[in-house]
Structure formats: C-alpha cells, structure tokens
Amino acid sequence: QAHFARAWAAECGSGRWVSNSPCANGMAAPGRSTVPWHPTATEQVKEVARARFSVASAWAVIGVIGMLANGMRKLVPVALQPFSQGLGPAGWVAYALSGAFFAYAEGYRGFQLRFSPLVVRRAFLLDANSPALQQAFAPAFAMAFFHAKMRRKVVAFSLIFGIFGLAATVKRLPYPYRSILDVGVCVGLTWGMASVAAIYVQSLHTGRVPNADPCLPSEP
C-alpha cells in the first residue's frame, strides 16, 4: 500500500495524465475519498477565461441598451425645453448641476462601476449551448432578472420599480423643474448605454471578461 501511495503521488503530482493513470481514471489516493467532484456555479464561471462573441451575448447587450434608450425617449424633448422656452441664470446653473450630478452618481457610479460590468459579464455567459430561455430573454438574463441570486434579483426589480416610480413623480412637476431633473436622468442613461457598449467591445478586443460577480445561483 505504501508503494502504491508513492506511485500515485508521483503520477498525479507530476501532471502526467495518461489513460491508465489513477488520476485519469478517477482513482483517489489511499485513505482519500473517492466521491466524484462536481464544480459549483461559481467555479464553473471561473473556468470561462476569455470573452467570446456569440449571437446571444450581442442580443443581451443590444437589448439592454435598447431598453435604456426606450426609457429615455420620452424624456429628451422635455429635457431640451429650456433651449426653446428659456431659463434664468439660477435655472441654468441648476440645469448644469443636475446634469453633472446624474453623470457622476447615476452614470459613473451606478452604471459604469456596477450595472454595466454585471450586464456584460452575464452576457458573456451566453452562447449557442445556453438554455433556450436564457438566449431568448438574454437582456433580462444579463440584467439578472432571473437565474441569479435572490439578493441580486431583488436589487434588479427594485431598481426598475424605482425608476418607474421616479418617472411618474417627475411627470407631475411643472416647468422648469421637470426639465432640470429630466436632463440629469438623460445624461445618466446616456452614460449607462455608452458604458455597456464600451465594456462589451473592450472585452471582445482584449479577450477578458469584466471583473464582476455574475451573481449566479448556487444551484444550476
């Protein structure tokens, strides 16, 4: 038995994986468990070393950008009203500050540092071998609306409902307050769309996926 243990250590420790070796045949060292090892979802993600293009990943990114653009579509005309109706000096200062604040808080911190890397990271998990549901609803998958940790799904749905609630509240504001807020939201959403596209293209160019937790559930 001691001789077998030394032979096993020499065979497996050297990295020589031959067809008749104990490592290749799934044999364990003497005194060790023979229960087969199955990687967890997190360990499977770590095995994805390169960012590879797929139709599903492209659809995920394009779909997310389209959803953000659709949300901004009705805000742009209101945000541009000051250029036709005018603002006082204090109004223009508030208008500029709103754009700057949302660019940093929503665009940079919210999208570029958090949301966009997550979207692109999850998008690169999709390929032609992914489940049909994940491919069909790739944008929702990328935003972690399903097949994600419960905490991440709660955050995703809370974000969407929060945006809808904010939009409903802002609609009731009179001019120029609505325009001042809308320009900030438009700047933030524009930053978000640009960051999603830029991170996706950069990942394809470098071959490296974003360093973000995809928040996959522990069970497949």
Supply the pLDDT for residue 220. 60
Structure tokens at 191: 């930053």
User: What is the sign of the dihedral through the CA atoms of 53, 59, 60 and 61?
Assistant: positive
Q: Who wins on pLDDT, 16 or 64?
A: 64
Among 42-56, 85-99, 106-120, 156-170, which stretch is predicted with the lowest mean pLDDT? 42-56
Cβ-based neighbour number of residue 155 at 10 Å? 17
Find the mean pLDDT for residues 167-194.
Answer: 93
Structure tokens at 18: 């031959």
pTM of the model: 0.77
pLDDT digits (tens, 9 = 90+) for 75-97: 999 999 999 999 999 999 999 99
Supply the pLDDT for residue 140. 97
Say how far apart CA 203 and CA 103 lie, in whole Å: 23
Say how far apart CA 181 and CA 74 lie, in whole Å: 13
Residue at token pair 């204090």 = 90
pLDDT of residue 172 exceeding 80 = yes
